[in-house]
């Protein structure tokens, strides 16, 4: 099990407490995760601030935010403003001062941030079937590479674009969907110029927010893919953007969803699965009853199942 996969799975307990309104229980889990996964400091610190705020411990929330910022952490302003859990902090002098500093740090870092890509080739010769995997929100290709690495043993090329949009230090987001689409198209075009790719076997995949982008880009036919492989799609706004119009268009793609029945978005994903099939887009849904918003255990098996389904009609 990779560290990133372990982190997602360990955080499921925290999410379950949060969903039940047990914010202080969720906080205890977040604090343990902060100790065990120091590289996830920006994420766990944000969770702690949110949970303390939700639990009515405003002074402690502000202190947690200040401590994280003293360690070099910052968050994008839209994250600090748009998070419902932080509603009770909005307008407080200490919070507003820190938001201004986060804005300054973000702007400085964003000036030098450019899209990037991690590429790995299988041992065999090309042309290569290609899997493009989009990272989760506030993540990066390096942190998720080992999770997708099994695709190489199946003879596939793996390409993992990195968004240029920073959400915090060393973590990236796909929040500006127009910009995200442009970068994904550009990366695909560069891949086809530099590598021998089997154009009949290209799949766009992703985790959480990256999975939502994979669905949107595939339905828009912005990249000529055989289908999408979406692991716990995590943004209703991205998935549903122009969804009805896109479903009405003609498609020759297939979809494969991996979902956790304990994921707060499970019902939405179940509805999307139904709508896709009703609209003539064959879509399989792999259910994990005990899973939340995370990668499944034995993800290599999910990869194999997804490829079999998505390539079923390929010649």
Domains of the chain from N-terminus onward? 3-110 (1.25.40), 116-310 (3.40.50.1820)
Summarised one tens digit per residue, pLDDT across range 81-121 is: 989 999 999 999 999 999 999 999 999 999 999 999 999 99
For 229, counting Cβ atoms within 10 Å of its Cβ (0-12 exposed, 13-18 middle, 19+ buried), the class is buried
Calculate what percentage of the chain has a pLDDT beyond 90: 77
Summarised one tens digit per residue, pLDDT across range 160-203 is: 999 999 999 989 999 999 999 999 999 999 999 999 999 999 99
Residue 125 predicted with pLDDT over 70: yes
Between the alpha carbon of residue 16 and those of residues 21, 25, 33, 86, 207, the distances in Å are: 9, 10, 15, 19, 19
- The crossing angle, in degrees rounded to 10, of helices 177-194 and 209-219 is 70
Model pTM score: 0.88
pLDDT of residue 315: 40
């Amino acid at each position: 099990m990779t560290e990133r996969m372990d982190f997602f799975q360990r955080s499921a307990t925290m999410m379950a407490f949060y969903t039940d309104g047990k914010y202080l229980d969720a906080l205890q889990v977040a604090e343990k995760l902060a100790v065990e996964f120091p590289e996830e400091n920006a994420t766990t610190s944000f969770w702690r601030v949110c949970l303390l705020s939700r639990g009515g411990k405003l002074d402690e929330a502000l202190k947690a935010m200040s401590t994280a910022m003293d360690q070099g952490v910052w968050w994008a302003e839209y994250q600090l403003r748009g998070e419902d859990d932080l509603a009770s902090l909005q307008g407080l002098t200490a919070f507003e001062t820190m938001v201004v500093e986060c804005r300054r740090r973000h702007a400085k870092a964003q000036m030098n941030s450019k899209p990037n890509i991690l590429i790995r080739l299988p041992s065999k010769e090309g042309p290569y079937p290609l899997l493009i995997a989009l990272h989760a929100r506030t993540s990066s290709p390096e942190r998720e590479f080992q999770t997708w690495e099994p695709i190489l043993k199946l003879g596939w090329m793996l390409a993992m674009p990195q968004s240029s949009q920073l959400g915090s230090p060393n973590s990236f987001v796909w929040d500006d969907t127009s910009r995200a689409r442009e970068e994904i198209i550009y990366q695909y075009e560069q891949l086809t110029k530099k590598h021998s790719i089997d154009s009949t076997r290209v799949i766009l995949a992703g985790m959480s927010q990256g999975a939502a982008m994979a669905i949107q880009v595939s339905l828009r036919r912005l990249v000529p893919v055989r289908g999408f492989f979406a692991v716990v799609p995590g943004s209703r706004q991205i998935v549903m953007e122009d969804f009805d119009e896109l479903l009405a268009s003609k498609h020759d793609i297939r979809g494969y969803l991996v979902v956790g029945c304990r994921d707060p978005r499970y019902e939405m994903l179940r509805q999307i699965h139904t709508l896709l099939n009703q609209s003539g887009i064959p879509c399989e849904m792999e259910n994990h009853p005990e899973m939340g918003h995370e990668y499944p255990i034995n993800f290599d098996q999910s990869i194999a199942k997804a490829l079999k389904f998505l390539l079923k009609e390929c010649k």
